[in-house]
Structure 1
Amino acid sequence: MSGFLSPATLTQSVGLTYEPEPWIDQRLSLGAKQVLVAHEDLGVLYGLAPRENVRYEAGLESTTELDREVFDDMLVQSSLRLFASFNRESPDMVWENVVSLKFNEWISFDFELTTLYDSDVITALQVRETISLGASVEMI
């Protein structure tokens, strides 16, 4: 159950980025995170106290991003974001992965896998998989 801005997550961070290769970078930073829930009734589902609309957290944030062409027509993209709040035991995690294949000029295939963990919402790992097949035609 959700609604507009229920929830919305905002993060701000200041830190350092390390790029060992052109296709991968790592950022470590001090961060702030806010979880906004516009509908008060839904706040408890997203780890907020009753009648609360915003939860503020401060902590460390780590972001690793990979964007690499493995073969001529195969691209792998991955983004791992971890946020460890100073006052919580387990970090929040969002890991997004996309494998894109281009068969020819007009047919492509994508596989997306996203895993999410936030113990304030649910103690289980959440997983979303998406498979898409695309066709593109140039009109002009």
Structure 2
Amino acid sequence: MIRSKFIFFITFLTFSCPLLFSQENEIMMDSIPFGAIIQSELGGKRSKFYGNTRFTLNQAYFSNWISGGESSITGLFGMDYNYNYSDRNGLIWDTNFLLSLGATYVKGNDYTKKTDDRIEINSLIGKQINRLSSYSVYVNLKSQLRPGYNYPLTSGEEFNRERISEFFSPAIIQGGFGLYIKKEPIYWINMSPLAARVIMVNSSYTKNLSEDQKYFGVDPNKVSKFFFGASITGNIKFNLMTNITLENKFNTYINYLEKTKNIDIDWNMDFRFKVNDKISSNLIIHFIYDDDLIKKLQIRELFGLGINIDL
């Protein structure tokens, strides 16, 4: 099973790479594409820093409303920033930092509940082969900043909650070697036939598990689970129509070490509806399927009108 998965992935790269490598290998430095480049005085090195910060606020108020309703307020904060670097010798370094935090308060509740909590860092170093393609080595980190809770119990008038996660529990780290294809600013794709992955958790969440239980895929009394397989990661951004942009971020992973044929999928769609230079509306639809975390499709949807600051 491991051999068949590996052979399939290598075959895919074998037949797709010639199309990508049909470009001329020896190119002049000035022809290397790097949109909106900031020229420096460091021997022809090039770098660019850009991104977006979002503030979104949703609010509802009810007073003596006969049909019922609860006053609430929800706030969302997001950051998505990139740093790109290249030099005369075809060395490239692309890094992305993503942070998304959200909380909601409903009048009468004892606790403010989080509606979003996500931190992700992607960093890739590559050596250019031609205009579009590079050999690459990459690392990816996903986790959260704030504790997560279940709210399962009501004891008399006291509302209880159960902590189920926290910063770096879980944390997913993935890295590997592969082929990096980039056509800025439209898309980039990184295909890695050799990719390691580890899920890390705090021991306090696994020490009391029964033998048939797992915590985010980690066995009782363990603090991590290791995987080795293949991954395809990418970002595709385009305009649907005037003032409407769709950005797709996706990651798929196949584990060579497991007999299961399931493919882990992480797909985030971000629709941006621009009102003007500072105000826009965002619709985020996020799908995750990872049977090591939970054997169900995870769905996250956020919509709001707020302020966007582009850099």
- TM-score, normalised to structure 2's length? 0.41
Cross-structure match for 1:112? 284
Cross-structure match for 1:92? 264
Q: Which has the larger displacement, 78-87 or 68-77?
A: 68-77
Cross-structure match for 1:37? 201
Contact 1:40 1:53 in 2 (8 A): no
Q: Matched residues in 2 for 1:42 and 1:6: separation?
A: 11
Q: Matched residues in 2 for 1:10 and 1:3: separation?
A: 16
Q: What's the CA shift for 1:104?
A: 1.9
For structure 1, the residue ranges without an aligned partner over 5 or more in a row are none
SS of aligned partner of 1:79: strand
Cross-structure match for 1:26? 189
Q: Matched residues in 2 for 1:54 and 1:60: separation?
A: 19
Q: Matched residues in 2 for 1:119 and 1:69: separation?
A: 33
Q: Which has the larger displacement, 53-62 or 20-29?
A: 20-29
Q: What's the CA shift for 1:40?
A: 3.6
* 1:73 counterpart (243, 246, 257): 243
1:105–1:64 distance in 2 versus 1, CA, 3 Å: closer
Q: CA RMSD in A?
A: 2.1
Q: Matched residues in 1 for 2:255 and 2:269: separation?
A: 24
Contact 1:2 1:42 in 2 (8 A): no
Q: Matched residues in 2 for 1:34 and 1:136: separation?
A: 34
SS of aligned partner of 1:46: coil
Q: Matched residues in 2 for 1:48 and 1:136: separation?
A: 39
- Percent identical pairs in the alignment equals 24
1:136–1:67 distance in 2 versus 1, CA, 3 Å: closer
Q: Do residues 121 (structure 1) and 284 (structure 2) align?
A: no
Contact 1:100 1:110 in 2 (8 A): yes
Contact 2:286 2:299 in 1 (8 A): yes
Query: Which structure shows the higher strand fraction?
Result: 1
Structure 1 counterpart of 2:220, one-letter code: P
Greater RCO between the two (CA within 8 Å, min separation 6)? 1
Structure 1 counterpart of 2:174, one-letter code: T
Q: What's the CA shift for 1:21?
A: 7.5
Cross-structure match for 1:103? 275
Q: Do residues 15 (structure 1) and 15 (structure 2) align?
A: no
Contact 1:108 1:135 in 2 (8 A): yes
Contact 1:78 1:97 in 2 (8 A): yes
Cross-structure match for 2:165? 2
1:58–1:128 distance in 2 versus 1, CA, 3 Å: same
- Radius of gyration: which is bigger? 2
- TM-score, normalised to structure 1's length? 0.87
SS of aligned partner of 2:165: coil
Cross-structure match for 2:45? none
Contact 2:206 2:221 in 1 (8 A): no
SS of aligned partner of 1:98: strand
Q: Matched residues in 2 for 1:136 and 1:26: separation?
A: 26
